[in-house]
Amino acid sequence: MRTRPLKVALLGCGVVGSEVARIMTTHADDLAARIGAPVELAGVAVRRPSKVREGIPQELITTDATALVKRGDIDVVVEVIGGIEPARTLITTAFEHGASVVSANKALLAEDGAALYAAAEEHGRDLYYEAAVAGAIPLIRPLRESLAGDKVNRVLGIVNGTTNFILDKMDTSGAGYSEALDEATALGYAEADPTADVEGFDAAAKAAILAGIAFHTRVRLDDVYREGMTEVTAADFASARRMGCTIKLLAICERAADGGSVTARVHPAMIPLSHPLASVRGAYNAVFVEADAAGQLMFYGPGAGGSPTASAVLGDLVAVCRNRLNDATGPGESAYTQLPVSPMGDVVTRYHISLDVADKPGVLAQVATVFAEHGVSIDTVRQQGKDGEASLVVVTHRAPDAALSGTVEALRKLDTVRGVASIMRVEGE
């Protein structure tokens, strides 16, 4: 074993960073044995230097992250600050000064992953980011390495722990949205700004990363269709239950049958209770990967929180340190192509639509005509009338999203349709 330690700079010591530091300290001997050299925490950059950080010597704490990554003797920079800047500049500066980087920053990777990869390659360094998608679950490396010889066609899953925690609470205990979000935040699952979770930005960033790796193409955050879960109501859960379903925020990345394009989307969806994703509880994540030769694979585990995420960061740290000792780097992204990303309108799926309508003769026929005119075939209709008004629930067969949007627009114009209470896609059947 080499006796000179590999030096690690930790940028950020919050929910994830504090757990990374703790495990680096408590498992130091194991890590050294696995790497073949000891690893030393050489500095910890934070915003608030006076905050008490258990187990971290005060002399390691700095507010000058730039000076830390520019020191020139740092082997690996672990970036767990989050956000776009200063994280992006710190990572590129780290490469310029000879360090490899481990990051958990999905927002940055989805926005600027290609440029960061290019910077890593230019300087002959590694960029690893297993923790950026689905917390503790090994998913990036299986997709990038284990499945590199196969052809992945679909990635579908729950990739945000906070929203799964909230939806699960709403479904099983009738908890309110705000109360469940507060709990998820207190448990360290939510992003610094939880809007990223509940509005689907975090899951969309993860979908962009997954689609990119799975299909060997570049997919950016802006390419991902996104709907959050803030509008999901108790009434939606009641409708879902009547259909034998529950509601989950899903990330779905698909390669077109002809292989010439891909789609990536994040939105709430009804899924049958019999589907394995329906029983993913709390802040757990689960991702299905469908590949030509492998068939269907499922990855499951804790998707958020300090300790699970630190596990993924530490796994990357070991891999990157081993590469440093061997004067090597892991797989890069230079083989990526650019497949077009098709718009949401091209996606074909089923829909559950709740309408408030007048309860009088001919309304059902009028509504059915609108669906027919837009080429959307109806599977089931349920109507419940009360005091001259009625609630009409239509479940469709598979149809293009653009056709469904056209249908809904036309329905809104009917005098007899008082309002469209909800539109939910139905997946996983």
Ligand X SMILES: NC(=O)C1=CN([C@@H]2O[C@H](COP(=O)(O)OP(=O)(O)OC[C@H]3O[C@@H](n4cnc5c(N)ncnc54)[C@H](OP(=O)(O)O)[C@@H]3O)[C@@H](O)[C@H]2O)C=CC1
Q: What single-letter DSSP state applies at residue 206?
A: H
* Minimum separation from the CB atom of position 213 to ligand X (A): 16
Q: E-assigned strands of 306-411? A: 348-358, 378-386, 389-396, 399-400
- Asked if residue 204 lies in contact with residue 221, where contact means CB atoms within 8 angstroms, the answer is yes
Q: Looking at residues 148 to 177 of the shown chain, list those that interact with ligand LTNE7NMQ (rule: CB under 6 A).
A: 160-162
Helix (H) or strand (E) holding 406: helix 401-412
Task: Provide the token pair at 424.
Answer: 């939910």
Residues in contact with ligand X by CB under 6 A are 12-17, 45-48, 51, 65, 80-82, 86, 104-106, 131, 135, 188-189, 191-192, 304-305, 309
**Which of the choices ligand X, ligand LTNE7NMQ, none does residue 160 contact, using the CB cut-off of 5 to 8 A by kind?**
ligand LTNE7NMQ
> Cα 190 from chain centroid?
12
Confirm or reject binding of residue 19 to ligand LTNE7NMQ (CB under 6 A). Answer: no
Confirm or reject binding of residue 189 to ligand LTNE7NMQ (CB under 6 A). Answer: yes
Task: Provide the token pair at 399.
Answer: 């149809």
CA neighbor of 292 nearest in space, from 149, 155, 151: 151
* Minimum separation from the CB atom of position 188 to ligand LTNE7NMQ (A): 9
Kindly tell me which of 107 and 376 has the beta carbon lying closer to ligand X.
107
> Cα 294 from chain centroid?
23
Can the peptide bond before residue 302 be classed as cis, meaning omega within 30 degrees of 0?
no
* Minimum separation from the CB atom of position 138 to ligand X (A): 14
Helix (H) or strand (E) holding 251: strand 245-255
Respond yes or no: is residue 70 known to be catalytic.
no
Kindly tell me which of 17 and 228 has the beta carbon lying closer to ligand X.
17
Confirm or reject binding of residue 202 to ligand LTNE7NMQ (CB under 6 A). Answer: yes
* Minimum separation from the CB atom of position 357 to ligand LTNE7NMQ (A): 38
* Minimum separation from the CB atom of position 46 to ligand X (A): 4
- Number of residue whose CB is nearest ligand LTNE7NMQ: 162
Kindly tell me which of 7 and 275 has the beta carbon lying closer to ligand X.
7
Kindly tell me which of 15 and 32 has the beta carbon lying closer to ligand X.
15
Confirm or reject binding of residue 17 to ligand LTNE7NMQ (CB under 6 A). Answer: no
**Neighbour tally for 192: CB within 10 Å:** 12
Find residue 268's DSSP bridge partners: 249
The contacts of residue 331 (CB under 8 Å, 6+ apart) are 144, 145, 148
- Number of residue whose CB is nearest ligand X: 14
Place of tokens 């996606």: 347
Using CA atoms, how far residue 129 sits from 12, 54, 126, 369, 427, in Å, is 15, 26, 10, 50, 29
Judged by CB under 6 A, the residue of 191, 236, 333, 401 near ligand LTNE7NMQ is 191
Per annotation, catalytic residue among 51, 151, 169, 206 = 206
In whole angstroms, what is the distance from residue 386 CA to residue 407 CA? 25
Kindly tell me which of 65 and 321 has the beta carbon lying closer to ligand X.
65
**Which of the choices ligand X, ligand LTNE7NMQ, none does residue 13 contact, using the CB cut-off of 5 to 8 A by kind?**
ligand X
- Asked if residue 194 lies in contact with residue 181, where contact means CB atoms within 8 angstroms, the answer is yes
- Asked if residue 208 lies in contact with residue 223, where contact means CB atoms within 8 angstroms, the answer is yes
Kindly tell me which of 100 and 160 has the beta carbon lying closer to ligand LTNE7NMQ.
160
- Where in the sequence numbering do the catalytic residues fall? 206
Name the residues that contact ligand LTNE7NMQ, by CB under 6 A.
Answer: 135, 160-162, 189-191, 197, 202, 303-304
